[in-house]
Amino acid sequence: MASAFEFTLNGRIVRVADVSPNTTLLDFLRNSGLTGSKEGCAEGDCGACSVAIIERGADGNQPIAP
């Protein structure tokens, strides 16, 4: 079953389609040339693969962190 979705990545709309449901966000980003996040332990312990997800307010501005 084909499915697609869009999200904003570094200020631009990215359409994701025809990607295996087993693809991690880390692999997707790195395969897109965004190599800032790394794979370290691959077990969820080290945090090297962390990606910041920031939800913007209705006005498009980032909410102020608590």
List the interface residues with ligand FES, window 16-45 (CB under 6 A): 39-42, 44-45
> In the numeric block, which tokens belong to residue 30?
């790195």
What is the closest distance, in whole angstroms, from the C-beta atom of residue 37 to ligand FES in the complex? 9
| Beta carbons within 10 angstroms of residue 17's beta carbon | 9
Of 29 and 49, nearer to ligand FES (C-beta) is: 49
Residue 49 binds ligand FES (CB under 6 A): yes
> 59: helix, coil or strand?
coil
The span from the first CA to the last CA of the chain, in angstroms, equals: 40
Residue 46 binds ligand FES (CB under 6 A): yes
> In the numeric block, which tokens belong to residue 23?
């693809």
Site for ligand FES, rule CB under 6 A:
39-42, 44-49
